[in-house]
Amino acid sequence: MQIETPTILKKIVERKYEEIAERKSHTPYGNLEVAASVANVHNAPRGFAQALRHQVAIGKAGVIAEIKQASPSKGIIRDPFIPADIARSYERSGAACLSVLTDSDFFKGHEDYLVEARAACKLPVIRKDFIVDEYQVLEARAIGADCILLIAACLDGEKLRELDRMARDLGMDVLVEVHNRPELELALEYTETELFGINNRDLHTFELSLNHTFELMGSVPSDRLIVTESGIHTRDDVAIMREKGIHAFLVGEAFMRADDPGEKLAELFQS
Ligand SMILES: O=P(O)(O)OC[C@@H](O)[C@@H](O)c1c[nH]c2ccccc12
Using the atom order of ligand 1, give the atom closest to the CA of residue 77. 1
- Where are the domains positioned within the chain? 7-269
Nearest CA among 227, 245, 228 for reference residue 52: 227
Measure the CA–CA gap between 58 and 233, rounded to whole angstroms: 23
Q: Say if CB 225 and CB 49 are below 8 A apart.
A: yes
The per-residue pLDDT for 258 is: 98
What's at 256, amino acid-wise?
A: M
Query: How far is ligand 1, taken at its centre, from the CA of residue 230, in Å?
Result: 5
Query: How far is ligand 1, taken at its centre, from the CA of residue 71, in Å?
Result: 9
Q: Which CATH number fits domain 7-269: 3.20.20.70, 3.20.80.10, 3.30.479.30, 2.40.50.140?
A: 3.20.20.70
The per-residue pLDDT for 6 is: 77
The per-residue pLDDT for 271 is: 81
Cis peptide before 45 (omega within 30 of 0): no
User: Would you name the residues annotated as active-site residues?
Assistant: 66, 68, 128, 177, 199, 229-230
Mutate to test the pocket of ligand 1, among 66, 108, 257 (most ligand atoms within 8 A of CB): 66
Whether the model clears a pTM of 0.90, i.e. scores above it, the answer is: yes
What are the per-10-residue average pLDDT scores of the chain (271 residues)? Answer: 72 98 96 96 97 98 98 95 98 98 98 98 98 98 98 98 98 98 98 98 93 98 97 98 98 98 97 81
The CA-based angle 217-221-222, given to 5 degrees, is 90
